[in-house]
């Protein structure tokens, strides 16, 4: 009886052994071939040799600083050489101690895991780093499932067999170092960080090569449960996990007892900052050019958010920092002045300084939140009004930092409409390279860009285009014109005439040079030339010099009415004067590379000859009048900027002071800015406080002080280079016949009629 039992036991063991020896290889083969579609496809050889993973595209400055990324998953791959020894050792003692010894499957760990499950005593997992990499790369638990995956228990077994097969194949195709780096590149660490490079940056503001043991212990602890072990969401649990990982380092003699005790007592020492589109330098710039990049990638067959492109921009990170600082410092101060000036009144006002009725209610109806409520509940539903007035917790922007408060949608809109906005751009006038771009005061809370997207009336910054036509028609900067009223007639219209006044004071009747007239921004003399030249001539010159927006050929254009322009095109146009009369398209990208560094496209700006070299230089002399002539509008610039330097400038202010402008030109850099409310009805209650010299010029001044103080930028003071062939007109008015000028238009100003103008 006993012998029969032994006999049957031996037969059973042999059957199990034979079935195992035959069945397991057959099972492997069936999975590998996806027999009858039961198991799901495995990655092919090409996929194994070139595994796909989403990689963020990176945006670099001209001085090779990472400005930001475009991603769905914030991931930037690294090589094994870019990992610290402490990091790799910590990973191996925690996840795969015998990593260097196995070929993708660790049988000892596998048996240990099986026994642990059968005995309900967890003794460690059976998955190797290579098997985990297989799951991370090919999503074996989520994708390519066969018909048998829905069978309870069997699906998990098939998944493990798949991981074993893929792991062995990975080991054949890659070195151990490559597998280790690939694994760390594919792991999600939480906090929008995918891969070790993003994780090291997010939690410690370091590169992976700089990670130490106690930092590595925290990061490795995040590998299997990023939320549970998050030092931000669950600090106590995270600390226990970190110390558990540190114990592994001590257990396997990677560190000694003294080091272990010391590291275990350390705090996290986090420098936590989630990488996002509202963080870092040039946030407005990055957002605006994203549309350009999306168009480019679509046309060229790439995905901006996953193909790991490297985009090299013209932005200089140092100048960008100086520009952002200049905007922040001035706008913080100006906002305080603005609020004090309002004396508790709302800033949205009509031309007669009365408050605009129902401004907030009307503005609310243009918001996406209001439209979504109307779509859900109906336009006249009580629910819409209730929800718009419902107070709820929110964070709001302030110049002293974010404020936690309770506000309704109406409260929030009213609060934000009190803020003044700004746009500022600087560019190299010779290359067309944009060096700094600040589109607003805070991208997180105000995402509308005021450099390229926003367009406003330019005020008196339009005047240099008028005077370019004057100079081009043979007049000298020293030509004198009377500061006297000029009237335009509009028969049949109401009112039938228009007589522009000066911004400050009545016309004096005195003669002054046109250089002085531009320097002091005298409206009557600009109107004189508009009447003499005709509005269409001014429109044509503005477009030639670089303005791309539509402009109306009307007399009021000479003072900036009749068209809206952007900071982007104004800076480009003023650069024409510095670039010997050649307009150069402002550009923001120099080249795009693929993830392997292969150049996909180089970018070169468009150019065209807009003015003669002599006219361009003469206009620089005209613009210098703002800083050199008595009572020039740029006289308030710092002496430090003007000393041993030639600076051209022009201020601009619209009639109700809703727009303040300043344009400044030097031999190496042209920059300009705009300041105002998001709505034209939001402005100071008097022209003097809202003029460009007060609102916009300080930004340029502060920026240039920082630029000139940094010798590494190569932006130097000095004169504008004179034309190679010299000048045909004497620019020193003390030596010049102030009545000199050739009336090439053949029109007498006193006898001009509307028919001659239009």
Q: Is 415 exposed, middle or buried (0-12, 13-18, 19+ CB in 10 A)?
A: middle
Q: Is 629 exposed, middle or buried (0-12, 13-18, 19+ CB in 10 A)?
A: buried
Look at residue 740 and tell me whether its pLDDT is greater than 50.
Answer: no
pLDDT of residue 141: 52
Q: Compute the distance between CA of residue 522 and CA of residue 280 in angstroms, rounded to an integer.
A: 42
> Using an 8 Å Cβ cutoff, are 519 and 631 in contact?
yes
Q: Which residue has better confidence, 22 or 372? A: 372
State the sign of the Cα–Cα–Cα–Cα dihedral 745, 750, 753, 754: positive
pLDDT of residue 495: 87
pLDDT of residue 11: 63
H/E stretch holding 592: strand 589-593
pLDDT of residue 758: 22
Residue matched to tokens 């609020």? 339
| Domains present along the chain, CATH in parentheses | 34-264 (1.10.3810.10), 421-594+610-738 (3.40.710.10)
H/E stretch holding 396: strand 392-396
Instruction: Calculate helix-pair angle for 196-204, 213-222, nearest 10 degrees.
Output: 120
Lowest mean pLDDT among 172-186, 440-454, 602-616, 700-714: 172-186
Q: Compute the distance between CA of residue 92 and CA of residue 80 in angstroms, rounded to an integer.
A: 14
Q: Compute the distance between CA of residue 395 and CA of residue 407 in angstroms, rounded to an integer.
A: 9
Give the Cβ contact number of residue 635 at 10 Å: 16
pLDDT of residue 151: 52
Residue 592's nearest CA partner among 276, 338, 308 is 308
Lowest mean pLDDT among 116-125, 170-179, 299-308, 635-644: 116-125
> Using an 8 Å Cβ cutoff, are 670 and 476 in contact?
no
Q: Compute the distance between CA of residue 223 and CA of residue 368 in angstroms, rounded to an integer.
A: 39
Question: Which pTM value belongs to this model?
Answer: 0.83
Residue matched to tokens 């690939």? 182
DSSP string of 486-527?
--EE-TTSSSSEE----SSS-----EEEHHHHHHTT-HHHHH
Q: How far is CA 319 from CA 309, 330, 594, 659, 685, in A?
A: 24, 16, 27, 25, 34
Query: Across all residues in the chain, what is the average pLDDT?
Result: 87
Q: Which residue has better confidence, 143 or 189? A: 189
pLDDT of residue 102: 83
Q: Order of strands across the sheet with 420-427?
A: 434-438, 420-427, 670-677, 659-665, 648-653
Q: Compute the distance between CA of residue 393 and CA of residue 136 in angstroms, rounded to an integer.
A: 39
Largest CA distance in the chain: 136
Give the Cβ contact number of residue 391 at 10 Å: 13
Q: Compute the distance between CA of residue 589 and CA of residue 604 in angstroms, rounded to an integer.
A: 9
Look at residue 161 and tell me whether its pLDDT is greater than 50.
Answer: yes
**Residue 718 neighbours by CB under 8 Å, 6+ apart:** 644, 645, 646, 667
Q: How many residues make up the chain in this entry?
A: 758
Residue 624: CA atoms inside 13 Å, Cβ hemisphere, count? 21
Give the Cβ contact number of residue 116 at 10 Å: 15
Q: Which residue has better confidence, 495 or 162? A: 495
DSSP string of 421-479?
EEEEEEE-TTT-BEEEEE-SS-TTT----TTTT--B--GGGGHHHHHHHHHHTTB-TT-
Backbone angles phi, psi at 66, to 5 degrees: -70, 115
Give percent of the chain above pLDDT 90: 72
Look at residue 116 and tell me whether its pLDDT is greater than 70.
Answer: no
Backbone angles phi, psi at 9, to 5 degrees: -65, -45
Q: Which two tokens stand for residue 752?
A: 């001009």
Q: How far apart are the first and last CA of the chain?
A: 123
Q: How far is CA 488 from CA 87, 476, 507, in A?
A: 77, 25, 16
Tens of pLDDT, residues 518-547:
999 999 999 999 999 999 999 999 999 999
**Mean pLDDT to the nearest integer, 615-643:** 96
DSSP string of 627-684?
HHSTT-TTTTS-HHHHTT---EEEEEE-TTSSEEEEEEE-SS-EEEEEEEESSTTBS-
pLDDT of residue 730: 77
**Residue 675 neighbours by CB under 8 Å, 6+ apart:** 331, 334, 420, 421, 422, 659, 660, 661, 692, 695, 696, 699
Backbone angles phi, psi at 478, to 5 degrees: -90, 0
Tens of pLDDT, residues 593-614:
999 999 999 999 999 999 999 9
Backbone angles phi, psi at 60, to 5 degrees: -110, 150
pLDDT of residue 388: 95
Q: Long-range contacts for 211-214 (Cβ within 8 Å, ≥24 apart)?
A: 211/83, 211/84, 211/86, 211/87, 212/84, 212/86, 213/86, 213/90, 213/246, 213/249, 213/254, 213/255, 213/259, 213/263, 214/242, 214/246, 214/263, 214/266, 214/269
**Mean pLDDT to the nearest integer, 324-331:** 98
**Coil, helix or strand at residue 155:** helix
pLDDT of residue 392: 96
Residue 86: CA atoms inside 13 Å, Cβ hemisphere, count? 18
Look at residue 618 and tell me whether its pLDDT is greater than 50.
Answer: yes
Q: Which two tokens stand for residue 527?
A: 């109107």
Q: Compute the distance between CA of residue 274 and CA of residue 204 in angstroms, rounded to an integer.
A: 11
Q: Compute the distance between CA of residue 169 and CA of residue 28 in angstroms, rounded to an integer.
A: 13
Look at residue 160 and tell me whether its pLDDT is greater than 80.
Answer: no
Tens of pLDDT, residues 69-113:
999 888 889 999 999 999 999 999 998 888 888 877 766 655 554
Q: Compute the distance between CA of residue 651 and CA of residue 460 in angstroms, rounded to an integer.
A: 6
The rounded radius of gyration (Å) of the Cα atoms in the chain is 35
**Residue 648 neighbours by CB under 8 Å, 6+ apart:** 577, 620, 622, 623, 624, 626, 627, 664, 665, 666, 720
Q: How confident is the model at residue 732 (pLDDT cuts 50, 70, 90)?
A: confident
**Mean pLDDT to the nearest integer, 729-743:** 60
Q: Compute the distance between CA of residue 437 and CA of residue 222 in angstroms, rounded to an integer.
A: 38
Q: How confident is the model at residue 687 (pLDDT cuts 50, 70, 90)?
A: confident
pLDDT of residue 714: 95
**Mean pLDDT to the nearest integer, 323-345:** 97
Q: Compute the distance between CA of residue 162 and CA of residue 223 in angstroms, rounded to an integer.
A: 21
pLDDT of residue 49: 57
pLDDT of residue 64: 96
Q: How far is CA 233 from CA 205, 236, 267, in A?
A: 19, 9, 16
């Amino acid at each position: 009886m006993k012998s029969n039992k032994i006999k049957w036991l031996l037969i059973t063991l042999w059957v199990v052994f034979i079935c195992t020896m035959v069945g397991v290889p057959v099972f492997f083969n069936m999975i590998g071939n996806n027999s009858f579609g039961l198991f799901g496809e495995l990655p092919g050889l090409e996929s194994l040799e070139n595994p796909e993973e989403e990689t963020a595209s990176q945006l670099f400055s001209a001085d090779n600083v990472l400005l930001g990324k475009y991603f769905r998953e914030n991931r930037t791959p690294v090589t094994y050489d870019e990992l610290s020894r402490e990091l790799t050792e910590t990973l191996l003692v925690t996840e795969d101690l015998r990593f260097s010894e196995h070929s993708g499957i660790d049988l000892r760990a596998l048996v240990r895991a099986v026994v642990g499950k059968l005995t309900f005593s967890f003794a460690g997992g059976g998955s190797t780093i290579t098997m985990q990499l297989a799951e991370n790369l090919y999503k074996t638990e989520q994708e390519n499932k066969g018909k048998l995956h829905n069978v309870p228990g069997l699906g998990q077994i098939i998944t493990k067999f798949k991981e074993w097969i893929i792991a062995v194949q990975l080991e054949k195709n890659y070195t151990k170092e490559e597998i280790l780096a690939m694994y760390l590149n594919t792991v999600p660490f939480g906090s929008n960080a995918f891969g070790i490079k993003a994780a090291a940056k997010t939690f410690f503001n370091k590169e992976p090569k700089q990670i130490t043991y106690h930092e590595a212990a925290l990061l490795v602890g995040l590998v299997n449960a990023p939320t549970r072990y998050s030092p931000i969401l669950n600090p106590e649990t995270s600390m226990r996990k970190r110390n558990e990982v540190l114990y592994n380092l001590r257990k396997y003699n990677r560190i000694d007892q003294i080091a272990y005790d010391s590291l275990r007592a350390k705090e996290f020492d986090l420098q936590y900052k989630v990488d996002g589109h509202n963080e870092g330098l040039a946030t407005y710039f990055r957002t605006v050019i994203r549309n350009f990049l999306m168009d480019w990638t679509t046309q060229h067959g790439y995905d901006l958010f996953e193909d790991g492109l490297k985009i090299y921009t013209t932005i200089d990170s140092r100048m960008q920092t100086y520009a952002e600082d200049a905007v922040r410092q001035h706008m913080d101060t100006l906002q305080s002045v603005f609020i004090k000036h309002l004396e508790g009144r709302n800033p949205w006002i009509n031309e007669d300084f009365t408050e605009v009725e129902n401004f907030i209610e009307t503005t609310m109806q243009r918001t996406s939140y209001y439209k979504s409520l109307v779509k859900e509940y109906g336009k006249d539903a009580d629910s819409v009004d209730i929800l718009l007035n419902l107070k709820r917790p929110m964070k709001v922007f302030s110049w002293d930092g974010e404020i936690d408060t309770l506000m309704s949608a109406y409260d929030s809109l009213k609060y934000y409409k009190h803020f003044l906005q700004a746009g500022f751009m600087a560019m190299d006038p010779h290359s067309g390279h944009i060096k700094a771009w600040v589109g607003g005061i805070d991208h997180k809370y105000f995402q509308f860009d005021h450099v390229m997207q926003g367009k406003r009336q330019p005020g008196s910054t339009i005047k240099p285009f008028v005077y370019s036509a004057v100079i081009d028609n043979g007049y000298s900067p020293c030509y004198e014109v009377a500061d006297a009223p000029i009237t335009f007639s509009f028969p049949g219209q109401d009112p039938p005439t228009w007589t522009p006044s000066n911004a400050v004071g009545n016309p004096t009747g005195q003669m002054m040079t046109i250089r002085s007239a531009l320097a002091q921004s005298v409206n009557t003399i600009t109107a004189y030339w508009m009447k003499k030249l005709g509005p269409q001539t001014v429109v044509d010159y503005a477009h030639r010099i670089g303005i791309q927006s539509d402009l109306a050929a009307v007399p009021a254009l000479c003072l900036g009415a009749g068209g809206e322009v952007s900071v982007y095109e104004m800076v480009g146009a003023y650069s024409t004067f510095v670039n010997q009369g050649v307009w150069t398209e402002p550009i923001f990208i120099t080249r795009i590379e693929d993830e392997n560094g292969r150049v996909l496209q180089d970018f070169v700006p468009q150019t065209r000859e807009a003015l003669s070299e002599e006219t361009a230089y003469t206009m620089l002399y005209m613009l210098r009048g703002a800083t050199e002539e008595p009572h020039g509008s740029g006289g308030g610039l710092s002496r430090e900027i003007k000393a041993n330097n030639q600076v051209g400038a022009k201020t601009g202010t619209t009639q109700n002071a809703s727009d303040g402008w300043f344009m400044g030109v030097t031999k190496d850099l042209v920059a300009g800015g705009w300041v105002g409310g998001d709505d034209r009805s939001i402005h100071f209650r008097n022209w003097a406080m809202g003029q460009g010299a007060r609102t916009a010029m300080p930004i340029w001044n502060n920026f240039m002080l920082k630029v000139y103080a940094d010798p590494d930028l190569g932006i130097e003071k000095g004169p504008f280079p004179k034309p190679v062939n010299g000048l045909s007109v004497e620019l020193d008015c003390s030596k010049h016949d102030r009545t000199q000028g050739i009336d090439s238009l053949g029109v007498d100003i006193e006898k001009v009629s509307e028919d001659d103008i239009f």
